[in-house]
Amino acid sequence: MISKKDIVEFLQSPDIQALLSEENLDKVYSLYEERVSNKLQEYSCTLTQYLLSIGIQPLDYVTHIREGMFIDCSIEEIHIPGNMGDIPGYVFVECDKLKKVIIEPGVTHIINDAFDGCDNLTEVVIPKTVRVIGDLAFIDCSPFIIKCFENSEGHKFALRNGYDFELM
């Protein structure tokens, strides 16, 4: 079985380091899809943390997020690009270090339990394109501020569920 140490060594190998350039990120994510996200969830967290540490937003280079992909992942901030469409349930469960979520225009749905138990969440940016937010999407999270547009689904969600909000 592959250990977390093995995946870190793999990511730090000269072959992978040589791939970590803007023009080769599709190759990195091909490896990501083959060797990481289809394996155990902890490996996708390890790769995500590594890419964030070198200044790369990993979700900019994938086309979908799978349920359970980042459970208990030690990330502090995540940008979710618009090409994701939906944020499935149980993606960012128990991400205790997650403080800020920036959802970019194009995302349309935030499913129940997507951010279940994110105890240190302080800010979530929700664009106008989000049309549906499950009332349990942020269940068991610390109190946080929703940054949203007036009369948007983010605004309605904040009012309906008693969240603080800041209009953009």
CA-wise closest residue to 153 among 107, 117, 99, 101: 107
Residues 6+ apart with CB under 8 A from 18: 24
Residues 6+ apart with CB under 8 A from 88: 65, 66, 67, 111, 114
Query: Radius of gyration (Cα) for the chain, nearest Å?
Result: 16
C-alpha dist (Å) from residue 62 to 5, 28, 85, 112: 24, 11, 12, 22
Q: Which two tokens stand for residue 93?
A: 């469960």
For 81-163, where are the E strands, in sequence order? 86-87, 100-103, 109-110, 123-125, 132-133, 145-148
**pLDDT tens-digit profile, the chain (168 residues):** 556 666 666 666 666 666 555 556 566 556 555 554 444 455 567 677 777 777 777 777 677 777 877 888 888 999 898 888 899 999 898 999 999 999 999 999 999 999 999 999 999 999 999 999 999 999 999 889 999 999 999 999 999 999 999 999
For tokens 């269940």, name the residue. 139
- How far apart are alpha carbons 157 and 147 in whole angstroms? 11
For tokens 């983010």, name the residue. 154
Between β-strands 109-110 and 123-125, what pairing exists: parallel, antiparallel or unpaired? unpaired
pTM above 0.95, yes or no: no
For tokens 């060797």, name the residue. 35
CA-wise closest residue to 36 among 58, 54, 15: 58
